[in-house]
Chain A
Amino acid sequence: MDIQLIEKTNISMQLVIRGVDVPFMNALRRIMMAEVPSMAVDDVVFIENSSVLHDEVLAHRLGLVPLVTDLDSYNLPEKCTCKSEFGCNLCRVTLTLEAEASESITTIYTGDLKSEDPHITPVSDKIPLVKLAPGQKIKLEAYARLGTEMVHAKWQPVSVCAYKYLPQINIDEKLCNACEECVKICSKKVLVRDENKIVPKNTIECTLCQDCVKVCSSPPAINVAWSDDSYVFNIETDEVLPPERIVLEALNILNRKIDDLLGQLTTKNELLH
C-alpha cells in the first residue's frame, strides 16, 4: 500500500491510495462518514420563544450548526463514566442564547450563542439562526454532545467523502495527428497540447467520460482506462475536525473492530477448530 498526498487545505484533502481494493476503500469511507464522532446540539430547552420560527424548527437549525469538536477532552455519552442520561462535564457542553429585538428587525447569528467551553463553538459566527421583529424574544439553552452519523446526519464530520478509480490515459503517438479535438471537448481540461503532440496534464481530474475517445478519429489514438488497485480519495470536512484527523480516527475505529473480532476468535477457541 502506498499513500500519496495530492492536495491539502484546512477543510479538504485529496489522496491517491495504491495497492488496495474496493472493500477496503469503502470500509474507510463509510467509517469516516458514519462512525467518526463530532459535536452537535442534541437537546434544546426553550425558556422563551416568541419568534416566527417554531421551537422544533429552531431546535433543528441549532442541531445542524457544525461545532468545532475536541475529541480528546470529550466522551461519547454512551461511553462516559457518568452513566447519566443528562450528561456531565465530560460528555456535554451547554450553549445559551438570549436575544431580543427592540427597535428594528434583528438577525440572530450563531455568534450570539454563548458556549460554556470556549473551545466548543460554532465553526462560523455568521450563520443566521432566526430573524426577530421588534418585541420578539428568544431565550434558550442548548446541550451539545458527541455523536455519530449512524444516529443523525448532523453528526457527520465530512460533507464530501468519496473515492474513484485512478484514471490512466494513454495516447498513441503514431495514430495521433494533434488535431486538438480532444483538448476542446474535455470538460475537466485534462489534455493539453505540448508542441506537436497531445499530453495528459492533470490525469486525476479525469471523470472517465470517454468524450475524448469518441471525438478522436477511428481507430482512436487515445485510450482512457482506470487502474484496478489505485484510488483517488476526496475528503471535505464541515470544519469540525482537520481532514487528517478524520482519516486517522476512522482507521483507529477500523482497527478496534478488527482487534475485537480477533480477540473474540482467540478466546472462543472452539471457533478455530
Chain B
Amino acid sequence: MIIPVRCFSCGKLVGDKWEDFVKKVKAGEDPKVVLDSLGMIRYCCRRMLLSHVDIIDEILKFYEETQKKEF
C-alpha cells in the first residue's frame, strides 16, 4: 500500500528514504549505488525499498476522479 516505516527484519527506519530512492532510480541511477548512498547496508533493509510497490497511488486515482465528478 504505502512504504513501511521500518524494515520488517531489523527495524531500521526505511520510510524516509523511499522518495529519494524512487527519484534517483527513475533518473537512471543504479539502485545498488543509490541504496549504498542511503546507508542501506543489510539486505533485509535493501529489499524493503527494492521490492516495494506504492499501490496507494493507484487507489487514490479513484478518489481523485470521484472528487472531480462531484464538482
Contacts and interface: CB of A to CB of B under 8 A. Distances in A.
A52 B13 contact: no
Contacts of B57: 105, 131
B56 A131 contact: yes
Contacts of A159: 7, 10-12
Contact of B67 (A57, A133, A156): A133
Interface in B34-61: 42, 56-57, 59-60
B59 A52 contact: yes
Contacts of A52: 1, 56, 59-60, 63
A159 B57 CA distance: 30
Contacts of B4: 64
Contacts, number: 70
B64 A128 contact: no
B16 A133 contact: no
Contacts of A134: 63-64, 67
A140 B32 CA distance: 38
A53 B10 CA distance: 24
A41 B64 CA distance: 31
Given A128-B15, A159-B10, 13 more contacts: A52-B60, A53-B56, A57-B1, A61-B2, A105-B64, A110-B16, A125-B16, A126-B15, A128-B3, A130-B2, A130-B56, A134-B67, A135-B63
13 contacts: A52-B1, A57-B1, A66-B13, A105-B64, A126-B15, A126-B19, A130-B56, A133-B63, A136-B63, A160-B10, A160-B42, A238-B6, A238-B12
Interface of A: 52-53, 57, 61, 64-66, 105, 110, 123-128, 130-131, 133-136, 153, 156, 158-160, 236, 238-239
